[in-house]
Amino acid sequence: MPRASANGIDLEYETFGDPGNPALLLVMGLGAQMTTWDERFCARLADRGYYTIRYDNRDVGLSTWFGSAGVPSLQSLADALLGGAPLPDVPYDLYDMAEDGIGLLDALGIERAHVVGASMGGMIVQAMALRHQERLLSLCSIMSMTGDWSVATPAGDAMGALMQSAPSNREEAIEGGLQAQRIIGSPGFPLDEDDARRRAGLAYDRAFNPDGMARQMAAILASPDRTAALAGVSVPTLVIHGRDDPLVPLPGGEATARAIPGAELLVIPGMGHDLPLEVWPQVVDAIVRNAERAAERAPSTSA
């Protein structure tokens, strides 16, 4: 897969579809590699006429890691999230990560793009809209929130899955990933445990960097509440959320939709904090409809 220099770091990325089509940038969540955007999901978007781009965020996958910055302890992160304790020094925040995505567009010669983010990725694309709205054609925030933790506090067991100790080997990584999926995944859809184990193993083999996940969590906590600022976002916006999400409960998505003028909210029953295969048709259709709203608003700049 190719790499690009962007915002002073290297980003690993992959593209799907015709580069002559409107660009659609996919931004993944906390500790998750770009391969968490299943290539079949990416291909569906490409088949609908979008030049689809997925990439590894900083500190995950094959993009630049920030190992020299140190590692915040899980306890300090939990105390900051749940108890309001001060955060340790952090090397970057969500706005730095947003600049990475914009820098990738620059490196690829793309002036404007539709942006779609999941979980932390939703927070990152919100930050893109706040700093670089002129570069966005449309915005889609999936299973995410505005940064107002009073609205969407994770359930206790979901927080435990997020804050579990780093695995010491491949087997522990696979079983830990499966256990987390059982807790935060979609209760309304069957979990293919064999496939979940396979994907966890592939992720471990591709790049294993639990320290990066801790730094990303610190970046989330170090970033201010975006609720008031999001009132200035005017690009067509879609918010997708699972009704049964224990990690970022539904009020987080509802608050995001309220914060952005004209945003549409799609709530999917049975969906938790993942994108099960069964919801792909609905999610892809919704993303495409939102992108088409942008084309209808300004057809001359949609490509």
Per-residue pLDDT, averaged over 240-255, amounts to 97
CA 216 – CA 218 distance, rounded (Å): 5
Band of pLDDT at residue 76, cut at 50, 70 and 90: confident
* 3-class state of residue 3 by DSSP: strand
Q: Which residue is it, tokens 């999001």? A: 230
Catalytic residue chosen out of the listed positions 59, 63, 100, 273: 273
> Are 202 and 177 within 8 A, CB to CB?
no
Mean per-residue pLDDT over the chain, rounded: 93
225 a catalytic residue: no
Which pLDDT band holds residue 302 (cuts at 50, 70, 90)? very low
Q: Which residue has the tokens 């490509």?
A: 303
pLDDT at 301 over 50: no
Predicted confidence (pLDDT) at residue 299 exceeds the cutoff of 60: no
Residue 155 has pLDDT above 90, yes or no: no
Widest CA span of the chain, in angstroms?
A: 53
> What pLDDT, on the 0 to 100 scale, is given for residue 295?
85
Q: How far is CA 250 from the centre of its chain?
A: 16
In this model, does residue 266 exceed pLDDT 70?
yes
Domain boundaries, the chain: 3-301
What's the mean pLDDT in 226-246? 98
| Active-site choice (56, 59, 100, 245) | 245
Among 6-10, 276-280, 293-297, the range scoring the smallest mean pLDDT is 293-297
Note the pLDDT tens digit of each residue in 167-211: 999 999 999 999 999 999 999 999 999 999 999 999 999 999 999
Q: Which pLDDT belongs to residue 289?
A: 98
Closest to 241 measured CA to CA, from 154, 139, 122: 122
148 catalytic, yes or no? no
* Architecture of the structural domain at 3-301: 3-Layer(aba) Sandwich (3.40)
Does residue 288 contact residue 48 with C-beta atoms inside 8 Å?
yes
Q: What is the structure's pLDDT at 296?
A: 86
User: For residue 79, what pLDDT is reported?
Assistant: 75
Alpha carbon separation from 101 to 15, 46, 253, 270 (Å, rounded)? 14, 19, 22, 31
Over residues 11-70, the pLDDT tens digits come to 999 999 999 999 999 999 999 999 999 999 999 999 999 999 999 999 999 999 999 998
Residue 67 DSSP symbol: G
The band of 300, judged by pLDDT with boundaries at 50, 70 and 90, is very low
- Whole-number percent of the chain with pLDDT over 70: 96
Query: Quick one: how far is CA 204 from the chain centroid?
Result: 19
Q: What is the mean pLDDT of residues 211-235?
A: 94
Predicted confidence (pLDDT) at residue 216 exceeds the cutoff of 70: yes
φ/ψ (deg, to 5) at 220: -60, -50
Spot the catalytic one: 63, 119, 144, 186: 119
- pLDDT of 162 strictly over 90: no
Catalytic residue status for 245: yes
